Structure 1
Amino acid sequence: MRYWSLHFQHQRSLFIEQKMCSSPLIRKVIIIGAGGHLGPHLVSAFDTDPHFQVSILSRASSDCSRFPSHIPSYCVGENYDTSESELVELLRGQDAIISAIAAQAVQQQKTIINAALKAGVKYFVPSEFGHDTRNEQLAQLLPPFLVTQKRQIVEYLQSKEVEGLKWTAFVTGPFFEIAVPHFLGFDFRSRHATILDGHENHHWSTTTLSTTALAVKNALLEPIKATNTYLFIESFNVSQNGILSALGRLTGRWDESYQNAEEEKRRALEELSQGNFSGLPTLMRYVTCVEGCGGDYMNYEASANGLLSLPEERLESALQKLLE
């Protein structure tokens, strides 16, 4: 009996080992868009993990001096979509590409994807971070570069699965450190909150920059768990009232005013139709805080926080950092 028990354990170990070997081994990672909001956090997450060798790919106009000097940095032409042959040579030998490319340039990722295939890259993480771009109501409200074009990049990656390129797209909600003080209605200087009337208690997801970067890194440590799929993560599932209450506990009384959500949306869309993007922050608040626009994706998707071993975070601690 003991023999068969040991034999079974040995066969099981072999099966697990073979299964893990069938997953692409990712060690060499190159980050595109390292100078943006998320980029430095991605660089730090991968650089501090000895499993990975990280490098950076940027446009010629970027200030490479701000990147850590010990990390290899490569420059390409001003637009990624005009330099495919150059990209192929720069990407050769890389296992994975992490794209944090700016939203206005998301379509240039098609050229990068094509170059990645020719260079033999195994894995691609698109610059999908943000709202659930599959949401049709969201796509009707926000400019194409924030929704439709991002979704099209994922669809393009799906079409390349047959050629051996694997991918993972991360839905994070708005980045916490950017969204709260800039478009979710909280003026830290005047301690005034602009609340969408009737939606003040509706919950939605938001993720910190550091947790987003950790999620990407952990996914690539065990890509067999995260291949060819969307992963939904969050640091906090909160409402405008929830944030306001936490700020009150930290700083004392805040003033608040209430705005009609539909009227705010109407004005913002009118401004956008005239080519005026000043209404975009207002529209971002609407699609985040109003039910049905994809900000509440944890109501219909499974959280990947556990799968990716993400830490539990305290809302008040994160807000305190913003206040400082």
Structure 2
Amino acid sequence: MGASGSVASILIPTLLDAGFTVSAIIRPSSNAVFDPKVTVHRANYDDFSALVTAFSGQDAVVSTVATFSADIQTTAIKAAAAAKVKRFIPSEYGGDTSRPEKVDFAVFPTKKRRIVQQLQALEGEGLTWTAICTGAFIDWLLELENAAMGWDLAARKVTIFDAGDSQFDVSTLDRVVQSIVSTLQHFEETKNTYVYVRSFTLTQNMLLEKLEHLSGKRFDITRASTAEIAARGAEHLRQGDLDNGYPEIVTAVGYGPWGWLDFKDRAVHWNRILQLPEENLEDTLLAVLKRKGLI
């Protein structure tokens, strides 16, 4: 699900390379094109019958729908259970949604938690689940044009929140994809549980120091507080201003004192079980800077 999105565009070829048989579900109006090895099903995500047909004979359903559209997975989960699918991997791939009350000013963690609760309620029908929490996508964090989470590499500007010393976990897009593939390869170990993976643990100050060192350029720094941006984001969402509200809320939960992106030893545990290789921070940042034309 979400087969034409950014994560799926990397995930599908990786699954094929790993020897999986892959099908993709796209909306009837989609013009997306896939590898000839991929079976394409057209269905709306609220069409129970069409989804049951698409899911029949499948071992697993992997959802990569957008973060703020988590609730559109509801019908698909029911259809997966009806089709006797063995595993449903919902669209997590971010912070720790197992305890949404820690960031109760944000809407999307509660929606994601409800999706997992729906899956938990269906365990007795044979449908298992894995919720994969990966940390922030460092590639997107640094490469987006809209100063994602305070970073604007092209302008060499950054907003440092609070003291800039709050730890947060990040994952490369490759790590996100690897974690999904490895979850399917470690079927029993990942049954009915949250899985926490990461590439690196950073602070804003640490990341700023690395970027300045590797690029040879100083960044202009603005200061702000996570409490203020959380309140501003919540108000924007109440007003229906999603374009401002969502990024502000994501920034607040990412850098704030709630531990949303701080997986600690849980990530060490799951990185080992999933046999995820070590990554190099400097190599990752150098690749980003080169793609942005900054070195």
Cα pair distance change 1:61/1:214, threshold 3 Å: same
1:5 aligns with none
Residue 252 of structure 2 corresponds to residue 271 of structure 1: no
Give the CA RMSD over aligned residues.
1.8
Shift of 1:229: 0.2
Residue 275 of structure 2 corresponds to residue 309 of structure 1: yes
> What is the CA–CA distance in structure 1 between the aligned matches of 2:229 and 2:84, rounded to whole Å?
48
> What is the CA–CA distance in structure 2 between the aligned matches of 1:320 and 1:301, rounded to whole Å?
24
Question: How many residues of Structure 1 are paired with residues of Structure 2 in the alignment?
Answer: 285
Deviation by residue 1:235-255 (Cα, 9 ceiling, x = unmatched): 111010111011011112222
Shift of 1:187: 0.8
> What is the CA–CA distance in structure 2 between the aligned matches of 1:185 and 1:203, rounded to whole Å?
15
> What is the CA–CA distance in structure 2 between the aligned matches of 1:49 and 1:260, rounded to whole Å?
44
1:261 aligns with 226
2:40 aligns with 73
Shift of 1:102: 2.1
Report the AA paired with residue 39 of structure 1. Answer: A
1:155 aligns with 117
1:288 to 247, 254, 257: 254
Find the residue that maps to 1:168 and give its secondary structure.
strand
Question: TM-score w.r.t. structure 1 length?
Answer: 0.83
> What is the CA–CA distance in structure 2 between the aligned matches of 1:37 and 1:53, rounded to whole Å?
20
Report the AA paired with residue 241 of structure 2. Answer: N
Query: Relative to structure 2, which stretch is displaced further, 294-303 or 264-273?
Result: 294-303
**Is the CA contact (8 Å cut-off) linking 1:47 and 1:53 kept in structure 2?**
yes
> What is the CA–CA distance in structure 1 between the aligned matches of 2:53 and 2:263, rounded to whole Å?
39
1:105 aligns with 69
Cα pair distance change 1:127/1:136, threshold 3 Å: closer
> What is the CA–CA distance in structure 1 between the aligned matches of 2:85 and 2:100, rounded to whole Å?
32
Find the residue that maps to 1:295 and give its secondary structure.
coil
Query: Relative to structure 2, which stretch is displaced further, 102-111 or 154-163?
Result: 102-111
Question: TM-score w.r.t. structure 2 length?
Answer: 0.90
Find the residue that maps to 1:134 and give its secondary structure.
coil
Cα pair distance change 1:109/1:136, threshold 3 Å: closer
1:28 aligns with none
Report the AA paired with residue 289 of structure 1. Answer: Y
Find the residue that maps to 2:272 and give its secondary structure.
coil
**Is the CA contact (8 Å cut-off) linking 2:227 and 2:256 kept in structure 1?**
no
> What is the CA–CA distance in structure 1 between the aligned matches of 2:70 and 2:235, rounded to whole Å?
25
> What is the CA–CA distance in structure 1 between the aligned matches of 2:201 and 2:116, rounded to whole Å?
25
> What is the CA–CA distance in structure 1 between the aligned matches of 2:231 and 2:77, rounded to whole Å?
37
Cα pair distance change 1:148/1:297, threshold 3 Å: same
Structure 1 runs of 4+ aligned residues shifted over 3 Å read 136-139, 299-303
> What is the CA–CA distance in structure 1 between the aligned matches of 2:228 and 2:79, rounded to whole Å?
45
**Is the CA contact (8 Å cut-off) linking 2:89 and 2:129 kept in structure 1?**
yes
2:140 aligns with 178
Cα pair distance change 1:272/1:114, threshold 3 Å: closer
Identical-pair percentage: 34
**Is the CA contact (8 Å cut-off) linking 1:138 and 1:147 kept in structure 2?**
no
